[in-house]
Amino acid sequence: MFRNFLFLVAFCGAFASCSTKQDLDVRESERVIRLGAGGVEETPRTKAVVNSLTDLASPGVGDNIGICGVRVNSNTAAPVMGWGNVLPMDNVRTTAVSAANGAVSWNGVYFYPLDNAYVKFCAYHPYASYEGNGRLRLEPSSTGKAPLLSFTLNGEDDIMYATPVIGKQGSAPDPLMFHHTLTQLTFEIIDDSGTLVGEKIQSIEVLDVNTSSTMNIETGAFGTWGTKANLTVSGTADVEILSTAAQAVGSSIMLQPGQASFKVRVNTSSLGSYTATIRPTSIGDNGSYETSFAAGRSYLISLRFDKTTELGALATVTDWVLIGYDEITIK
């Protein structure tokens, strides 16, 4: 329809004011869906010092976000909207997030509906295709139900969702705020007696944890958890204990939240294996001691060795630091 109309006005001539095509171009441009990263924000739940847009733009993060857009209302008499219908953006993977201005890029161009319908945008991380890759898969939406991210954790996945935002032609959506949904553990070794100085840590394992579930990309709600496994903390192979001072060991590990305790095993090169049960010892948002490991919190696990107790463990809350980011804003 637009092309035919433009053909008719193409002969307006130099003496006429050919503003019609410009007006159409403006309206068409307003229909283009654009999102961008607008900054970072702290939340009361994490109490973490959040990090920069640069971290969101880093490879493996900014190019690994999935976005779905769903019609939520319309000014037509019989709108086709809601989950289970054709989506204006259907699991679109980002290609980059600009560290300079926060612009979010993807392949292709997507438009708001012609009938001026509103579109709700939901985003999640890490991206998963509908076909899946063995550990991550997006289950398509059905009538009234948002897509589900199906996953099996390996300890390194940072499962996130964004609070949905709504936009339409001529009205940009508010920022998308991402939330961590898992519990993060980081580890340090303390050898008070010096008994283990020179010894090597072969691995640190978190034992018998649930690894598989689903997450609703609109609400962040988990489904049933299952698939018990032992997960090894990355970067803990052949780590030499250098002194009696506290020594950071390995990378962070992400686990199912809401657990009252975790069992940890430390394997050494010549002194065997040590196990400890860890529980949170920090103050929660309500002013009381936490009774479980919360979603969106990072806990520093201090593994203390001495001659009498062998291995003790203390868990305290620290800032969430994973590839340098915490709460992330996209708008």
Give the DSSP letter string of 170-211: TBPPPPEEEEE-SEEEEEEEEETTSTTTT-EEEEEEEEEEEE
Q: Which residue do the tokens 């009252």 mark?
A: 260
Question: Which SS3 state, helix, strand or coil, does residue 24 take?
Answer: helix
| Blockwise average pLDDT, block size 10, the chain, 331 residues | 30 38 51 64 34 70 92 69 92 87 86 90 94 95 95 93 89 82 91 82 96 97 98 94 90 95 91 87 73 90 69 50 28 24
Please give the pLDDT value at position 89. 95
**Helix, strand, coil in percent for the chain, rounding step 5:** 5, 45, 50
Please give the pLDDT value at position 255. 97
Please give the pLDDT value at position 96. 86
CB atoms within 10 A of CB 258: 12
What are the two backbone dihedrals, phi and then psi, of residue 111, each rounded to the nearest 5 degrees?
-120, 150
Check: CB of residue 118 under 8 Å from CB of residue 166: yes
Please give the pLDDT value at position 256. 98
Please give the pLDDT value at position 322. 31
Rounded to two decimals, the pTM is 0.82
The domains located in the chain, with CATH, are: 34-181+324-330 (2.60.40), 183-211+226-318 (2.60.40.3380)
Residue-wise pLDDT tens digits, 97-152: 777 777 778 999 999 998 888 999 999 999 999 999 999 999 999 999 999 999 99
At residue 246, what is the residue type? A
CB atoms within 10 A of CB 315: 20
* DSSP assigned state of 135: S
